[in-house]
Amino acid sequence: MRIATWNVNSIRTRKGRVIDFLQSADIDVLAMQEIKCKPEQFPYEDFEAAGYEVLAHGVNQWNGVAFASRLPIEDAVEGFDGMPGFGKPGEDGALPAEARALGVTVEGVRLWSLYVPNGRELAHPHYEYKLEWLEALRRSTADWRAEHPDRPIALMGDFNIAPLDIDVWDTAVFEGRTHVSAPERQAFQAFLDDGFVDVARELGIEGYTYWDYQQLRFPRNEGMRIDFILGDPEFFSLVSSAEIARDERKGDGPSDHVPVIAELDAETSLDDDLPMIF
């Protein structure tokens, strides 16, 4: 089973590129972030014509997460327990929940598509929201794992954190800014301390996953590594290989992020459709 995560930066703008990637990379399940549309605006027909079921979660033209899968999707959940909100309080005083987390089960593997808040600036309320969001995710995930100790789980998506100095092209450029601050890195490390594995890094896969559109960042390879597949030990035991699909940043109209791929040694319902060879 081949799974991937990709911040597509507007699915309606890049549906052709995403579908081409699904087919050329032979992806079974894709977690998408920043789809930038409501569910009713998602281009379902194009994905269905390519053989993929889509589940989308969005509330406006910002944020938004989704899954595209050619395997059955089960147990879908929008958001996670304790997830904080952000913005103007409603009449009940509650902060609105953003479309940043979608969980599904595919072939017995629990997968999350996550778009972690950016944080904006260190003194901005969005930064505190980011840290609260990450801690709530960590607690919710820990509770789920305690209830399902033998089931594999992966947290996939745009974490908006570069956890190590080697994950940015120049640490001096980021001094005093988000994505590299000690509290953010500690929040990321907390998942590793809980037993999660950065799948691509653990397998020795190097490279960035994001390059800004401005100032020729991609040709100069001035990027960041902020997109990850974090798997628990049960998940990582299934992983046979991983890849950062750097070439997806090339060509016409690319996203500013590229996919991260993991291949699992796991039988799927698609295997039943393969012809028998004698």
Look up tokens 């005093």; give the residue. 176
**Cβ–Cβ < 8 Å for 50, 16:** no
CB neighbours (10 Å) of residue 115? Answer: 24
Instruction: Give domain status of residue 53, yes or no.
Output: yes
Residue-wise pLDDT tens digits, 121-168 = 999 999 999 999 999 999 999 999 999 999 999 999 999 999 999 999
Instruction: Give domain status of residue 263, yes or no.
Output: yes
Question: pTM of this prediction?
Answer: 0.96
Residue 272 confidence class, pLDDT cut points 50, 70, 90: low
Instruction: Give domain status of residue 275, yes or no.
Output: no
Residue-wise pLDDT tens digits, 35-75 = 999 999 999 999 999 999 999 999 988 899 999 999 999 99
Residue 269 confidence class, pLDDT cut points 50, 70, 90: confident
**Closest-CA residue to 42 (of 30, 24, 55):** 55
What is the distance between the alpha carbons of residues 264 and 81, in angstroms, rounded to a whole number? 28
**Cβ–Cβ < 8 Å for 189, 207:** no
Kindly state the DSSP code that residue 144 receives in the 8-state scheme.
H
What is the distance between the alpha carbons of residues 109 and 239, in angstroms, rounded to a whole number? 12
**Closest-CA residue to 66 (of 25, 108, 22):** 22
Instruction: Give domain status of residue 56, yes or no.
Output: yes
How many domains are contained in the chain?
Answer: 1
Question: What single string gives the DSSP state of each residue in 184-208?
Answer: HHHHHHHHHHTT-EEHHHHTT----
Instruction: Give domain status of residue 133, yes or no.
Output: yes
CATH number for the domain harbouring residue 149: 3.60.10.10
Look at the chain and count its residues: 278
Instruction: Give domain status of residue 125, yes or no.
Output: yes
pLDDT of residue 93: 86
Tokens representing 89 are 């309080």
Task: Determine the structural domain holding residue 50 and report its residue range.
Answer: 2-269
Instruction: Give domain status of residue 277, yes or no.
Output: no
Instruction: Give domain status of residue 104, yes or no.
Output: yes
Q: Answer yes or no: is pLDDT of 274 > 60.
A: no
